[in-house]
Amino acid sequence: MSFGSPNNPYGQPQNPQNPPSGYGQPQPGYGQPQQGQPGYGYPQQGQQGIPPQGYPQQPGGYPGYPQQPGYGAQPPYANWGWRFLGTVVDVLVFVVPYILVAIGAAQDIPALAIVGYLIVIGLAIWQLIMEGRTGQTIGKKAVGIRLVKEATGQPLGVGMAFVRRIAHFLDSVACYLGWLWPLWDAKKQTFADKVCSSIVIRSQ
């Protein structure tokens, strides 16, 4: 058998213009991405932790996922003891001006009595404004409790704080039962609190 024989595959000349299939053509190598396939080792859009193109990343958070605001737990309700102590402090604030009124009346000094009354009225108005705006009187602040709306946890406002003062009539009309109601009520509310949808909580 000669090398030029047509039966000898090793001796057949190759046609440079019609090479065998695959001859001289680049083959996809290891680690090279094929058409339509993601490259090995390169993060793709939509994969976990990689936001799609055009999706804004949130500063300080996990990329591509907006951060949700946290919701703090409601502070515990103020029990009857704390409420009573706060009321005692509020009453003591008025002791000095009432003493002035008593001395002025006993010693027949009208000016002193008038000064005492003006101090009482001024303190009462100031306490009401502070309770409406901040939820705290002098006594409530001293013992660490706050009056707020049950639905929102925000101060009542001066108007509703005034309505609540009037609604305390309901706490007194039934043998002062309403003042004692926080002892066993689940939300530690008086009758006035229930009418005005208010609660008294421990300050944070």
Per-residue H/E/C for 66-134:
CCCCCCCCCCCECCHHHHHHHHHHHHHHCHHHHHHHHHHHHCCCHHHHHHHHHHHHHHHHHHHHHHHHH
Q: Which of 40, 42, 35, 43 is nearest to 63 (CA)?
A: 43
Domain count, the chain: 1
For residue 72, tell me if it sits in a domain: no
For residue 161, tell me if it sits in a domain: yes
For residue 16, tell me if it sits in a domain: no
pLDDT band at 203 (very low <50, low <70, confident <90, very high): confident
What single-letter amino acid sits at 155? P
Q: Is residue 26's pLDDT more than 60?
A: no
Q: Which of 200, 201, 90 is nearest to 139 (CA)?
A: 90
- pTM listed for this prediction: 0.61
Long-range Cβ pairs for the range 190-194 (8 Å, 24+): 191/167, 192/164, 192/167, 192/168, 193/164
Residue span of the structural domain in which 151 resides: 80-202
For residue 196, tell me if it sits in a domain: yes
For residue 37, tell me if it sits in a domain: no
Q: What is the pLDDT of residue 63?
A: 44
Q: Which of 66, 106, 195, 198 is nearest to 145 (CA)?
A: 198
> Token match 């053509």: residue?
25
Q: What is the pLDDT of residue 184?
A: 95
Compute the average pLDDT of residues 43-65: 48
For residue 22, tell me if it sits in a domain: no
Higher pLDDT, 140 or 203: 140
Q: What is the pLDDT of residue 2?
A: 47
For residue 14, tell me if it sits in a domain: no
Compute the average pLDDT of residues 19-34: 52
For residue 68, tell me if it sits in a domain: no
